[in-house]
Amino acid sequence: MAEQYTAQDEVVELCRDLIRIDTSNPGSHEGPGERRAAEYVAEKLAEVGLEAELFESHEKRTSLVVRIEGEDPGRDALLLHGHLDVVPAQKDDWTVDPFSGEIKDGCVWGRGAVDMKDMDAMILAVVRERLRQGRRPKRDLVLAFLADEEAGGMYGAQWLVDHRPGLFDGVTEAVGEVGGFSLTVPGEGDRRLYLIETAEKGIAWMRLTAKGTAGHGSMVHPDNAVTALARAVASLGEYDFPIRMTKTVRAFLERACAAYNIEFDPEDPERAIRELGPLARMIGATIRNTLNPTQLDAGYKVNVIPQQASAQVDGRFLPGYEDEFFDTVDKLLGPGVTREFIYHDTALETDYEGALVDAMESALLAEDPGALPVPYCLSGGTDAKAFARLGMRCFGFAPLRLPAELDFSGMFHGVDERVPVDGLRFGVRVLDRFLDQA
């Protein structure tokens, strides 16, 4: 007789197995792709009677979708989604092999441990156990394990929404990354904030181009493309956008400052943010639009003035402030420099209210009586952007109870990415309770 595992036991091995499948996404099709991981997930679901569909948008770029019928199929359906791809990792930079799934110091180590094979494993573990026990969800539950999130989802979530929208018929709410993780309140003993994502900034990855007259480097060239580009890049990179308080960020700061016993002044939110410790880096990027130059490309020889110079810029804009963002960008570029999109996607925001939010809070409080759930805005972007196009309310809720000393935000795309074993077990318990009520 096969040994029986509970979801809390199984989640650790599922996470390790997924990490060992290298799904690095370099932003092109040159990586290993997600097919092996999608097939692994399909096998694990088939073991408990679920026949999932695989969708290949490009060779090896594979996503998986399956629907579980709920007790009341007449109700609106819920989507749980996670992505299978990860950003690349340089082995020599790591303490352990980033694709080993090694357990060390009470953590599962490896690329994807928090972004986001941990949540993939939690979804798998909870669903497998519930189906083994014959426990159906209250409403239809759609599971999606997706390709290409780390490059914008064009070959994953975005592709499915464009080409297979019927898979999500009746789905009105979606839950994915990045949220549900804890942050210990200093001096409060067993009190922890749990950040639930209800908003995320929009994305504007842009290529800037300047053109001039090519020629000899020893001569006078007033229309030097490199000079024009450098001027524009410096203007964008040095610009400080004005503070803009969205409803999500204001709600977060009010609740977080109350928990930290910090005075919150809406006229000077940066003062409060500076006192939030590890949160400052994450939250500081959600009170204004941002622009960060990331790449430069010009010329091929020191004494040859190139005819063209280009740069790439990572822009992020707050919900409700996209027009202001692009108006500012165009003014800063100046004459002779053009922009085009490498990738562009909308900002999202939903209200922190409703039965789904109540279910999240209830599940957290049942497992951690000291929990203080709070809404927050993610400075990055997720596959929620694709699903929002189908009218879904989207939330980030991948529950993890974390040790106070862990720099969780630094784990995303960082060296020595890892997730606590106890955090995975906690997440399974919370997610199971959540599905009982959602």
**pLDDT tens digit string along 2-26?**
445 689 999 999 999 999 999 999 9
pLDDT beyond 90 at 281 = no
Say whether pLDDT at 419 is over 60. Answer: yes
Residue 107 CB contacts under 8 Å (≥ 6 apart), including other chains: 113, 418, 419, 420, 421
Domain boundary, last residue among 302, 326, 345? 345
Copy the structure tokens of residue 336.
């002779």
Q: Are 356 and 330 found together in one domain?
A: no
For the chain, give the percent of residues with pLDDT over 70. 98
Same domain for 170 and 210?
no
Residue 299 lies in a domain: yes
Q: Could you report the per-residue pLDDT of 189-213, keeping only the tens digit for each?
A: 678 999 999 999 999 999 999 999 9
User: pLDDT band for position 376 (50/70/90)?
Assistant: very high
The pLDDT, as a whole number, for residue 193 is 94
**Residues 236 and 166 both lie in one domain:** no
Model pLDDT, residue 102: 97
User: Do 81 and 175 form a contact (C-beta atoms < 8 A)?
Assistant: yes
pLDDT class for 216, splitting at 50, 70, 90?
confident
Domain at 321, CATH number: 3.30.70.360
One domain, residues 135 and 257: no
Q: How far is CA 376 from CA 157, 212, 282, 348, in A?
A: 23, 45, 10, 12
Per residue in 97-156, pLDDT (tens digit) is 999 999 999 999 999 999 999 999 999 999 999 999 999 999 999 999 999 999 999 999
Are 433 and 402 in contact by the 8 Å Cβ rule? The answer is no
The predicted model gives 409-416 an average pLDDT of: 85
* pLDDT score for 147: 98
Question: Cα torsion for 109, 110, 114, 117, to the nearest 10°?
Answer: -120
Write the burial class of residue 166 (CB in 10 Å: 0-12 exposed, 13-18 middle, 19+ buried): exposed
What per-residue confidence (pLDDT) applies to 283? 86
Statement: residue 312 has pLDDT above 90: yes
Tell me how far CA of residue 431 lies from CA of 129, 310, 428, 436, in angstroms: 12, 46, 5, 9
Secondary structure class of 21 (helix, strand, coil): coil
Q: According to the model, what pLDDT value does residue 331 have?
A: 96
Angle at 167 between CA 162 and CA 172, to 5 degrees: 90
DSSP for 140-152 reads: -EEEEEES-GGGT
Do residue 244 and residue 230 come from a single domain?
A: yes
Do residues 329 and 376 both lie within one domain?
A: no
Give the whole-angstrom CA distance, residue 106 versus residue 381. 29
Report the pLDDT averaged over residues 289-318: 95
Answer yes or no: is 430 within a domain.
Answer: yes
The answer to whether residue 294 is domain-embedded is: yes
Cβ 256 vs Cβ 276: under 8 Å: yes
Q: What is the mean pLDDT of residues 386-408?
A: 94
How many angstroms from the chain centroid is the CA of residue 159? 18
Same-domain pairing of 127 and 276? no
Determine how β-strand 77-83 pairs with β-strand 171-176: parallel
* 243 and 327 inside one domain: yes
Statement to judge: residues 395 and 269 lie in one domain: no
Going by C-beta distance under 8 Å and a sequence separation of 6 or more, which residues neighbour residue 373?
193, 194, 196, 360, 361, 364, 365
The DSSP secondary-structure symbol of 73 reads: T
- Per-residue pLDDT at 189: 66
pLDDT(271) > 70 = yes
| Band of pLDDT at residue 1, cut at 50, 70 and 90 | very low
Is residue 68 in some structural domain?
Answer: yes
- Structural domain of residue 418, as residue ranges? 7-187+192-196+348-437
Closest C-alpha among 437, 433, 419 to residue 106: 419
What pLDDT score was predicted for residue 4? 57
Of 296, 313, 345, the residue that ends a domain is: 345
How much is the pLDDT for 3? 47
Query: Which pLDDT score is estimated for 10?
Result: 96
2 within some domain: no
Assess whether pLDDT exceeds 50 at residue 27.
Answer: yes
Question: Are 15 and 90 members of one domain?
Answer: yes
Query: Could you give the number of structural domains in the chain?
Result: 2
What integer is the mean pLDDT of 220-240? 93
Is it the case that residue 75 has pLDDT exceeding 70? yes
Beta strand 393-396 pairing with 202-211: unpaired
CA dihedral 254, 260, 262, 264 (to 10 degrees): -10
Cα 408 from chain centre: 13
Residue 25 lies in a domain: yes
Which of 28, 58, 23, 26 has the alpha carbon at shortest distance from 40? 23
CATH of the domain at 101: 3.40.630.10
pTM: 0.92
Calculate the alpha carbon distances from 213 to 14, 113, 309 in Å: 58, 49, 11
Rounded CA-CA distance 386/252 in Å is 25
pLDDT greater than 80 at residue 176:
yes
Residue 1 lies in a domain: no
Answer whether residue 171 is part of any domain. Answer: yes
What integer pLDDT is reported at residue 280 of this predicted model? 80
The pair of structure tokens assigned to 393 is 């309310």
C-beta separation of 214 from 305 below 8 A? yes
* Among candidate residues 345, 368, 384, the one where a domain is terminated: 345
Alpha helices in 368-417 (DSSP H): 384-388, 408-411
pLDDT at residue 56 greater than cutoff 90: yes
Do 214 and 308 lie in one domain? The reply is: yes
Does one domain contain both 328 and 408? Answer: no
Which token pair is 78? 């819920």
CA distances 384 to 23, 174, 356, Å, are 20, 8, 16
Q: Cα Rg for the chain, rounded, in angstroms?
A: 23
pLDDT of residue 2: 41
pLDDT number for residue 217 = 81
- Would you state the torsion angle of the CA atoms of residues 147, 86, 113, 284, taken in this order, to the nearest 10 degrees? -100
